[in-house]
Structure 1
Amino acid sequence: MNSKCQCVELNDGHFMPVLGFGTYAPEEVPKSMATDATKLAIDAGFRHIDSAYIYQNEEEVGLAIRSKIADGTVKREDIFYTSKPFQLWSTFHRPELVQSCLERSLKKLQLDYVDLYLIHYPVSMKPGENSFPTDEHGKVIPDAVDLCATWEAMEKCKDAGLAKSIGVSNFNRRQLEMILNKPGLKYKPVCNQVECHLYLNQSKLLDFCKSKDIVLVAYSVLGSHREKKWVDQNSPVVLDDPVLGAMAKKYKQTPALISLRYQLQRGVVALVKSFSEKRIKENIQVFKFQLTSEDMKVLDGLNKNIRYLTLDSTAGHINYPFSDAY
């Protein structure tokens, strides 16, 4: 991994850059922009690239990575690439599908391996269905998926060399413990990627993950992409918070950089996305300043337990992760 890149050691001995470039974009954004933005991010110094099958841009992101390898900007081992294949987002978590999903993503990426492979979401659909099964009242029919069996298939992907590290996303404490307490556990999840920002600082989940040597990775770290399809448009905007704005002026930084710095100083890996060259270059400047412990406490106090991405359509499912306190 690039020596200029600040990294955290994972519980399997691999290293993850603490600042990652997210590649999700709303449907109306041309897929080609993922290629351009990822190239810009790598040129700016990002070495951690996060994508997923459901983003429908892995071909474009893979093209960007390969082009930056081809022009000598980076080597493959400099890049930490995270994948979250579709079947581990919402379709039935049948163990026999886990490796084929990863192989499909690798084919799109035209890469030999991913650095991190995640179960995207603990809720599943049955094969061939495009929505969660519901009863006559519209309530989701519980489908008790054996997450432990899925995890065993994830472990096989690591053993096969298709993924250097394996982890989870959107899991609560109870679901993490289900994996950690599994008889015959071979590899612990290296991370749990969750929504985490100043209005949802996940302090309890962070403490739990730290106690188990699991890295917390934050998405929607600046609040949310606020896409109407996912997010209540009446919810407050993190970057407009007056306390955050005042602190940005104090440090002569942007609210976004203060938000990012806050996460890094509390031991959270932060994913940030942008299609703007100016903002991509700005975000990498997060390593050039530090917040005082007093200001960290002030930012801790902004927590409102506001979750932007609630995925209410899955709320009736037995594995819905957001009903628990954390």
Structure 2
Amino acid sequence: MSKTTNITIKDVAQSAGCGVATASRVLNNSGPASADVRERVERAARELGFSFSAIGRALQSRRSMTVGCLVPSLANPVFAEAVQGVQAVLLGSGYQMLISCSNYDAAADDAAIEMLLAKKTDALVTTMVDPDRSPALRLAKKRGIPISLMFHDPLDGFITSYVDNFEAAKEVARQFAGLGHRRTGFLALRFSTSDRSRNRYAGFHSECRTRGLPDPVLIEIGEAEANQPDLLAAILAQHPALTAIFASNDFLAIAVQKAARLLGWRVPQDLSVVGFDGIEIGRLLEKPLATIETSPEAMGRQAASSLLTMLQGGDTVQLPALPFAFRAGATLALPNPENGDDGRGATRPSPDLPAEPHAQQG
């Protein structure tokens, strides 16, 4: 085949004797491939004259060469790392990224997608409050815009890059049970509008029942309680029997530790705390945080690789969940046998405490 500017990734895959998704992973350096397959794909690309920049030049008249990236917040390092993963894969592809943040607001999600569509973006990678109910996302799909979701559990009709929240949360229940905790709680922010939080609770609840533990207490809080330790402390004081709390993300787990100190509770002697995400700051605390560790950067890479495959005309299939691991930290220990239902004297939180940094959602 002669070198032309209309060579596609399908041609490269066919010449290399592999699937389009495999060729995309090799050319984007965004996933595993054997040395033999990698050599075949790279040789085929050279011989055919394929390059993403050449494709970009060929499509300039029909495409904006932009990818819209919508996340709830860049203040949360989980989403910032995912965006970096997207950017790493797009680098050198000829595509530029437009970033928008919604601050965990469904209406802002739709407004952002409408803006990105108005700017003729060629593809979307998104993390949203409720993608299944988003009219703007349905409009983008109807227009044939390639879409890749991040962090959400698989949703019919969409390619999703994710960690299995249900299975990961079961591991937290196993850790609690293994140490002898029976009176546990799940702390969630905006529980009703976060599929991630709901699935984490469902997995935690399921494994507690499997192990014969009482159902975990669901503690739902708002922005004010998440951001003000004295308010959160007042809520925790209503649950003095709990010996362990699973927070739906690491920032909430850190907030729990601050609130516990106001109550005179020691972590982990009086209250074990486990988070979710594995943000780096959790390692740097005086007591490193026990948490479910994930790789948001790998999630972003996987999502962007799927988009490039779709943009080059390749078919995509739902990939398996990305791996997770439990990080023990120093906030998880055996329950204190002296702590009965009334074994901890909860002090009244002071209303005059200085403001604390804002908690972030996951």
Structure showing greater radius of gyration is: 2
Instruction: Give the TM-score normalised by the residue count of structure 2.
Output: 0.26
Q: If each structure's helix is expressed as a fraction of its own residues, which one has the higher value?
A: 2
Instruction: Give the TM-score normalised by the residue count of structure 1.
Output: 0.28
